[in-house]
Amino acid sequence: MATSITSLDDFHKTLRENQAVLIYFNTSFCNVGEALEPKVKNLVKTHFPKVAYYQVDMNFLPEISTAYSVFVEPTIIVFFEGKETIRKSRNIGVSELHEAISRPYQLIFE
């Protein structure tokens, strides 16, 4: 379900090709991010199946993190129709994220 982004070009292509994209920025050294990731994946899979889920490892792709001003891990950015709509960082509540995604998701897909 989760796919890794491999370059800045790949990132831009992903945004062009999908109506809704959730990008999960993290590193393998962040315990909070590692614990949160399966919960976010499950949220997307269960409640927002039309949102494409991608991961960016900030250690391996600092150019993406820099281009999108992501300096804290974990950070989640949700794009609808290529535009950044939601940004959550550090202490991210799954229910709070669910609420934030629900409205734009319903407007576009339902």
pLDDT single digits (tens) 82-94 = 999 999 998 889 9
pLDDT for 95 equals: 94
Asked if residue 101 lies in contact with residue 46, where contact means CB atoms within 8 angstroms, the answer is no
What integer pLDDT is reported at residue 2 of this predicted model? 55
pLDDT of amino acid 31: 79
What is the rounded CA–CA span in Å between residue 58 and residue 71?
9
Domain ranges, residue 103? 3-109
56 sits in which H/E element: strand 52-57
C-alpha span between 44 and 86 (Å, rounded): 14
Give the count of domains, the chain. 1
| Distance, C-alpha 28 to centroid of its chain | 16
Residue type, 57: D
Which of the residues in the chain have pLDDT under 50?
1
Which residues are registered as beta bridge partners of 54?
A: 3, 23
pLDDT on residue 1: 44
3-state secondary structure of 14: helix
